[in-house]
């Protein structure tokens, strides 16, 4: 393998598993995290020492910090995976402006700015991957998660539009759209869990490894004609 993969949000449950899966498969990793350094140490315990090229700490909730982060990426990047972001639950009319601004920054501006910075080198090499972990709510919407659904929907549009623009340069752009994945951010009561499992045809939530296996496939030579797609991974739920 030997390709360099930048993972934005490597400290989240999904991002961490993506890093471990790709690291074990022979990819070289550039890991971003904000405040969960413990997760980065856990990744290191699963992969070879020479797997991780660099670790960059950055709070990407502002455009200024994002631009500073980009300047710290000193290695060439063959693929970037966006696995970070915040969710918000509550009535739309009660959503604070500050929460809206943060959601737009993390889910829209960060992919815009980072992709914009990496595209020139990818276009020059005529190869590259841009993959965004979006959400089923970006496709079907969710009550009490209107702002979150909105920014995830914007990611879907970004993926489809950018794919049309850079496809002729042999750069593959895709999205992975998870349903209910068993992570800390999706923890629910036992009663809610049972109800959700009954709604899902496969009768279980997805795992971070379900997502990471799909990411590994999209980066492989077996997926070279998959482009501009939003791949649902939700056990048939939505």
> What are the residue numbers of the active site?
148
SS3 state of residue 128? strand
Q: In what order do the strands lie in the sheet with 171-178?
A: 52-57, 28-33, 4-8, 79-82, 128-133, 171-178, 230-233
Task: Count helices and strands (H / E) in the chain.
Answer: 9, 7
Question: What are the residues facing 131 on neighbouring strands?
Answer: 81, 174
66 SS3 class: helix
CA distance 233 to 195: 19
Backbone dihedral angles phi then psi of residue 53, each to the nearest 5 degrees: -75, -40
């Amino acid at each position: 393998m030997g390709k360099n993969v930048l993972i934005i949000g490597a400290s989240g449950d999904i991002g961490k598993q993506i890093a471990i899966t790709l690291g074990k498969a022979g990819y070289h990793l550039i890991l971003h995290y904000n405040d969960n350094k413990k997760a980065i140490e856990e990744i290191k315990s699963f992969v070879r020492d020479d797997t991780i090229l660099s670790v960059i700490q950055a709070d990407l909730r502002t455009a200024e910090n994002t631009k500073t982060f980009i300047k710290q990426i000193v290695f060439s990047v063959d693929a970037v995976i966006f696995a970070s972001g915040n969710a918000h639950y509550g009535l739309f009319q009660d959503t604070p402006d500050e929460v809206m601004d943060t959601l737009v920054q993390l889910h829209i501006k960060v992919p815009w700015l980072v992709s914009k910075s990496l595209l020139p080198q990818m276009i020059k090499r005529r190869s590259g991957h841009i993959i965004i972990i979006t959400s089923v709510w970006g496709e079907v919407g969710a009550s009490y998660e209107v702002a979150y659904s909105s920014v995830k929907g914007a990611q879907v549009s970004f993926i489809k539009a950018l794919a049309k623009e850079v496809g002729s340069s042999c750069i593959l752009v895709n999205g992975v759209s998870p349903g209910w994945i068993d992570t800390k951010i999706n923890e629910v009561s036992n009663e809610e869990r049972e109800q959700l499992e009954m709604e899902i045809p496969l009768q279980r939530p997805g795992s971070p490894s379900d997502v990471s296996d799909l990411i590994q496939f999209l980066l492989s030579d077996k997926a070279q004609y998959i482009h501009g797609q939003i791949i649902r991974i939700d056990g048939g739920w939505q």
